Amino acid sequence: MGSGAAEEEGEPLIQSASSTDSTARRSRAALVRILIRVCVCCCCCGGGGGIAALVAARAARTSQPCSRRAFAFATLLTHRVGAKGASPCYRAAVAILLRSWLATRSRYPFLLLHTADLDAGMRALVDERPGAVVPIRTEQIEQPGASEGDLGAMATKLNLWTLGGAGGYEQIAYFDGDHVFLSNADAIFEACGCGQPFCGVWDPRMPEHRFLRTFGEPSSGNHTRRLVNAGTLVIQPDVSLASSLRQRWASRAEFMSEDLDMVATGSDQTFFNHMMGEHFRTVDQGFNLMHVGRSALAAPDGSRFVRFLHANGTAFDPATPTVVHLKAWTRGRARLEQAVHGALRARFIQPDPYVSELVRDPQCDPDRARPRNSHGARGNAQRRRLRAG
Ligand SMILES: *[C@@H]1O[C@H](CO)[C@@H](O)[C@H](O)[C@H]1NC(C)=O
Ligand SMILES: *[C@@H]1O[C@H](CO)[C@@H](O)[C@H](O)[C@H]1NC(C)=O
């Protein structure tokens, strides 16, 4: 699960989408380059297959992009690093996410990728509307040294790339467990655009960072930009990319030398931003709300979020995709944020015995300090340990 909401003020209200043809062309070119590298490896390593066939297969797919409209939402439910099951707060978050998403009557399925067993409460959500929530058992990806808890297994997201190919999904909108859908967000697939390798929303908390323009290609040069919040990502699954991305993750310390915190905790945010290079598109912040400045959203008198939300936690315009990124059992900080959290607790926690029981766990104590993310104290401690040893 990503960390909580941002407090920064003065963020631009709307991020312009870099939706030019040349961006799309560059994105396709970048993917073909990555694909060719993968193919070369297949051939040299005796995997066979042939470059021409793979490139042709991609060309055939992209000539009728997303004609099947095989789109899906997705989230992860991993077990805690060093434990057997998923933590109570993580299960509560995913249950709220699924419950809120079911209410939006999406026309696409929601893939629940899980490495932890599903308990009875989670099963009931899966069974609520047959075919809506699709459980997929997947393999947990951790690294030695990854932090314990929920964040250390976030690289399991890389398994999303295995869900493409013939009969697979053409585009997947992934959300970390700590999101709540306040309206139908099916438009995210149009907003992102078919064939786009990545789409996301800026994370205002993160400092600018230097990235290669094209992942894995040092000759493409560097560029400096903000980070996309890895809690919401639209990706194009590609079976042939899945294993090479996994290898990259395993060797991330080699090209993320400036990111020792992240390398130590195993948190995925910077890694995904490296992968994205400059080949991505931003979608409206309504798809990942709260990592935004409050003042940009609130009316001058502070009474409501003008663009997306009412203080009672409902979407300002039900026709506008509105997904908030928060943990409803926490109190929130700013006044409006507290009002929204309270309203969401009343809607999604109090009436639900399963979720109510889960958030009674001391780890979900609303006053408990938020676990530090990769830029926090724990990361620093691990960095010192790594340097020392
Ligand atoms: C890109 O940045 C890395 C360090 O982050 C540096 O080693 C490399 O020389 C830079 N590449 C170019 C083309 O400037
Ligand atoms: C939330 O607040 C808005 C604005 O005051 C109101 O129109 C709407 O009916 C409220 N919804 C709920 C469920 O209370």
pLDDT value of residue 302: 64
Q: How far apart are CA 2 and CA 231, in angstroms?
A: 6
Q: How far is the CA of 37 from the centre of ligand 1 (A)?
A: 21
pLDDT > 70? residue 40: no
Q: How far apart are CA 18 and CA 41, in angstroms?
A: 32
Q: How far apart are CA 352 and CA 12, in angstroms?
A: 37
Tally the C-alpha atoms within 13 A of residue 315's C-alpha that lie toward its C-beta.
Answer: 20
pLDDT band at 5 (very low <50, low <70, confident <90, very high): very low
Q: Which two tokens stand for residue 16?
A: 């312009």
Q: How far apart are CA 200 and CA 33, in angstroms?
A: 22
Look at residues 293, 286, 369 and name the one whose alpha carbon lies nearest to residue 331.
369
How far apart, in Å, do the first and last CA atoms of the chain sit? 29
Counting ligand 2 atoms within 8 A of each CB, the residue from 100, 310, 340 with the most, and so the one to mutate, is: 310
Ligand 2 site, residue 312, Cβ cutoff 6 A: yes
pTM of the model: 0.79
Q: Which residue do the tokens 């766990």 mark?
A: 361
Could you report the per-residue pLDDT of 359-374, keeping only the tens digit for each?
Answer: 999 999 887 655 544 3
Q: How far apart are CA 85 and CA 106, in angstroms?
A: 29
Q: How far is the CA of 253 from the centre of ligand 1 (A)?
A: 15
Which ligand sits nearest to residue 223's alpha carbon?
A: 1
Tally the C-alpha atoms within 13 A of residue 337's C-alpha that lie toward its C-beta.
Answer: 22
Considering the chain, what percentage of its residues have pLDDT values greater than 70?
Answer: 68
* Virtual torsion, Cα 119, 121, 126, 130, nearest 10 deg: 130
